[in-house]
Amino acid sequence: MKRIKSVVLFYNSKRRKALAYAAAIERRLKAAGAKVSRVCVNDTACEFKPADAAVAVGGDGTVLYAARHVISRGIPVLGINAGGLGFLSGVERRDFLRGVKPFLNGDYKTFNRSLLAVSVRRKGRLVFGPLPALNDCVIRSQEARAFTLRATFGREFLSEYFGDGLIISTPSGSTAYSLAASGPIVMPDLEVFLLSPICPHTLTHRPIVLSAAEELKVEVEGGRSGPQVMTLSLDGQENFRLEHGDTVVIGKHPRSFKMLAPSGFSYFDILRRKLSWGER
């Protein structure tokens, strides 16, 4: 990786700890000679100049926000944990402040993570999309009532789901909402989708891993007891209202999210430390 001379700093102004951490990191970067521009994830507009790298200071939500906004420019992102779990972070704040030079010298590794490309079609016409999602897209009702979704993978009918909705996630998102719905943990460099039903009204529907080489189409058939308000959520941050008969199309995004981390970064170490994976 080339030497980093300019950085876009993403931060969450609603969290005091993250705000204080971001200010300290900005000072350290500038002291080391880097140009720094700031982007608040709480602002309506997200505008920034081209940069060599981005730094997302906060929890996983800040990294997800940064990923969706830099993907079109191919800017690599370093997540610095200033939140809770920080599963998408490449480094902890204290470790980064002790070692800013390796980051600016380009000594960090780049890990490619796949994203979803999500669009919605209504009566054969494109409503919106394709939009990127690093973790997942979720189709569910705003009401506490089950509804039906019909899923097709490639040219084949997959299944009809009756329940509280579906989670379609990337390998990166396998440790997020999908995991809470009993989905598997998937190595982040695999080219697959995970389809996890939310509270299915059957004992036979279980999460399934699908190849990312084909598109997944999910048609909203609605509830059995009248109209419902159904929504599509991308990374839990962008939400859209769906109508009966809409088709959600999920494919692999043409670009990869470039995640930065120190040379000693280990995915399995993250699992053990942050999810207590394998502990008795």
- Write down the catalytic residue from 60, 136, 164, 246: 60
Residue in 142, 145, 134, 138 with CA at minimum distance from that of residue 248 = 138
Catalytic site residue 60?
Answer: yes
Report the sign of the C-alpha dihedral through residues 129, 132, 137, 142, in that order.
negative
Strand 77-81 relative to strand 257-261, pairing: parallel
Whether the bond into 130 is cis, omega within 30 of 0: yes
Burial class (CB in 10 A: 0-12, 13-18, 19+), 3: exposed
Contacts of 135 (CB under 8 A, 6+ apart): 60, 64, 169, 170, 172, 173, 176, 177, 235, 236
Contact 86, 79 (CB under 8 A): yes
DSSP code at position 142: S
Bridge partners (DSSP) listed for residue 194: 169, 209
* Residues forming the active site: 60
